[in-house]
Amino acid sequence: MNNDIEHPKDPNKGKSVAGIILLAVGGILLLQQFRIFFIPAHLSLWPLWLIFWGIYIGAKHNYKKASWVLLVALGTVFLITQNINNSDRIVGPLAVIGFGMWLILRRNKHFDPQQWKNDFKGEKWTNWDKKEPFQFEKAETVDYTVKEEGSEIPPVDPYAQKQQQYNTKYSGDDYIDTVSIFGGVNKTILSKQFRGGDIVNIFGGAELDFTQADINGRIIIDITQIFGGTKIIVPSNWQVVSDLAAVFASVDDKRIRSTASVGSEKVLVLKGVSIFAGVDIRSY
């Protein structure tokens, strides 16, 4: 398993995009003050910060992270409701419906690129594009011999074997998927092969205790929260890396600084977006 943390190939690219966004927002606000290009002074343009911040996050990660969509959508909703009278009666419910559909479509899409490479490499998939004659499955031979009582072997169900092959590889607490809306979730993970998960908090919170769990290599937890909070308790030998997009939010690491070495093989990566929310990391 690859334990390296992903960084952008060109670190200066993100600074350039951020500078362009600041110039654009500052220019729009300046033009509004001078009433140039017919920009009314009564317009509320503060939601542009959310929109441009989402564009910046998307450009920084080649638009592979879903957090930029959430920021742009939220900024667009605020921009419309702040400047068009009575628009919140329609835009508000539409935003809730859209966010719910986004959560439904986003669930159960857990893709591991490294696992995909391991599953689809080898001689079996080398010549996948070459045409080969179709072969029918051979019919099983039936034994009509009368056997003595007590010596019969129970038949093997081929469908049960195939069903076992299609069963998910995640079991128990190996993967977490919590959704908290106007509530709270408290969970203690006991898995010794934890693989990651998703956390969604909307006006709610989640508390996860990993002190009795274990991981191998680099594990990712994707956090999406609005007006909520997440508390994560990890063992002292884990290394925690935060890659969250925080908007009016904070990631507070209250662990002892010398608990985990830089070269630790147990790396927990926090990704996603936190808006008006916080993430608290602790270890005992």
Q: What pLDDT, on a 0 to 100 scale, did the predictor assign at position 209?
A: 92
CB-CB neighbours of 284 under 10 Å: 10
Mean pLDDT, consecutive 10-residue stretches, the chain (284 aa), reads 45 60 73 64 75 77 72 85 83 82 65 50 52 59 62 56 49 79 88 88 90 90 87 90 83 71 76 86 85
**pTM for the whole structure:** 0.55
Distance between CA atoms of 56 and 18, rounded to whole angstroms? 6
What are phi and psi for residue 71, nearest 5 degrees?
A: -65, -45
| Beta strands across the sheet bearing 217-226 | 175-181, 196-202, 217-226, 266-275, 239-247
Distance between CA atoms of 262 and 39, rounded to whole angstroms? 51
Q: What pLDDT, on a 0 to 100 scale, did the predictor assign at position 155?
A: 57
Distance between CA atoms of 132 and 242, rounded to whole angstroms? 49
Q: What pLDDT, on a 0 to 100 scale, did the predictor assign at position 109?
A: 55
Tokens at residue 120, please? 């689809």
Q: What pLDDT, on a 0 to 100 scale, did the predictor assign at position 80?
A: 87
88 within 8 A of 81, measured Cβ to Cβ = yes
Unique residue bearing structure tokens 């993100």? 14
List the one residue out of 180, 212, 177 whose CA is nearest residue 196.
177
Nearby residues of 76 by Cβ (< 8 Å), 6 or more positions away: 47, 51
Q: Buried b vs exposed e over 73-83: b needs ≥16 C-beta within 10 Å?
A: bbbbbbbbbee
Q: What pLDDT, on a 0 to 100 scale, did the predictor assign at position 231?
A: 93
10 Å CB burial of residue 277 (0-12, 13-18, 19+) is buried
Q: What pLDDT, on a 0 to 100 scale, did the predictor assign at position 273?
A: 83
Q: How far is CA 235 from CA 158, 177, 199, 266, 281, in A?
A: 44, 21, 19, 10, 11
Helix axes 11-34, 48-60, angle to 10 degrees: 160
Distance between CA atoms of 248 and 46, rounded to whole angstroms? 13
Unique residue bearing structure tokens 């921009």? 79
Task: Map out the domains of the chain as residue ranges.
Answer: 11-106, 168-282
Tokens at residue 237, please? 């030998």
Distance between CA atoms of 163 and 141, rounded to whole angstroms? 22
Distance between CA atoms of 194 and 214, rounded to whole angstroms? 6
Tokens at residue 275, please? 């808006």
Q: How far is CA 144 from CA 62, 118, 141, 157, 234, in A?
A: 64, 44, 10, 18, 61
Q: What pLDDT, on a 0 to 100 scale, did the predictor assign at position 158?
A: 54
List the one residue out of 223, 216, 198 whose CA is nearest residue 110.
198
Q: What pLDDT, on a 0 to 100 scale, did the predictor assign at position 232?
A: 93
